[in-house]
Homo-oligomer: A and B are copies of this chain.
Amino acid sequence: MAKKDLRERIKEVAVEHFNNNGYHGTTIRNIAKDVNCSLPMIYYYYNNKKELFDEIIKREYFGLLKRQAALLRTNNIIDFYTKFVYDLNSLSNYDKKVYRLGIKVYLSFDGDEELMEIMDEWEKTILPRHYQILKPYLKNADNDIAIVRTLVHLLETLIESIVVKNRFLPEEEIREEISIVLREC
């Protein structure tokens, strides 16, 4: 087994376990069993349980978020957001689980205060980012900011449905809901 392989496989199995059983419900022994390696090998690649968890959130989850945020825009704003959400359906199982784990930390259902601070920092960027995206389409009405806020709130639930509840959302349903919020754009 090459070095990189095993380290990566440990992380993959860890994502699965942290997802299913939470941080405290996950044991290094069970991870080792599923990876089919001895228990101390986990400690060979990761200093301790928390470091393994942190790497998943800090590297995998935020890597995923940044890839998502960098998506190209189409001309039609409703098309863009529909695609943005719809494409989550076809995320790999691994990425979905990483995403789910990140949301768990985001809702402070898992993780610690340090991770929560990173989440809070990220959260502050969400509204401004979407405001920039939507700006050209807004009608300069006094409820512009409210529209952006409503859309972001709606997106949050749609993402949760797909990623956390593991449901498939049809493109048409996503488009309908986004259109309702953005119907004046």
Stretch of A38-46, A64-72, A87-95, A173-181 lying at the B interface: A173-181
Residue A48 CB within 8 A of the other chain: no
Question: A158 and B154 in contact (CB under 8 A), knowing A22-B109, A24-B22?
Answer: no
Stretch of A7-15, A51-59, A129-137, A145-153 lying at the B interface: A145-153
Residues of chain B within 8 A of A183, CB atoms compared: 183
Residue A164 CB within 8 A of the other chain: yes
Residues of chain B within 8 A of A164, CB atoms compared: 107-109
Residue A104 CB within 8 A of the other chain: yes
> Using a Cβ–Cβ cut-off of 8 Å, how many residues does chain A contribute to the interface with B?
31
Tell me which of B21, B108, B149 contacts A173 (CB under 8 A).
B149
Question: A177 and B158 in contact (CB under 8 A), knowing A22-B23, A24-B22?
Answer: no
Measured CA separation A180–B153 after assembly (Å): 12
Measured CA separation A157–B183 after assembly (Å): 20
User: From residue A54, how far is it (CB to closest CB) to chain B in Å?
Assistant: 16
B22 touches A160 (CB 8 A): no
For this chain, the copies found in one complex come to 2
User: From residue A89, how far is it (CB to closest CB) to chain B in Å?
Assistant: 16
Residue A16 CB within 8 A of the other chain: no
User: From residue A127, how far is it (CB to closest CB) to chain B in Å?
Assistant: 12
Measured CA separation A180–B139 after assembly (Å): 14
Measured CA separation A161–B110 after assembly (Å): 17
B147 touches A180 (CB 8 A): yes
Measured CA separation A177–B181 after assembly (Å): 9
A22 touches B110 (CB 8 A): yes
CB closest residue in chain B, given A153: B157
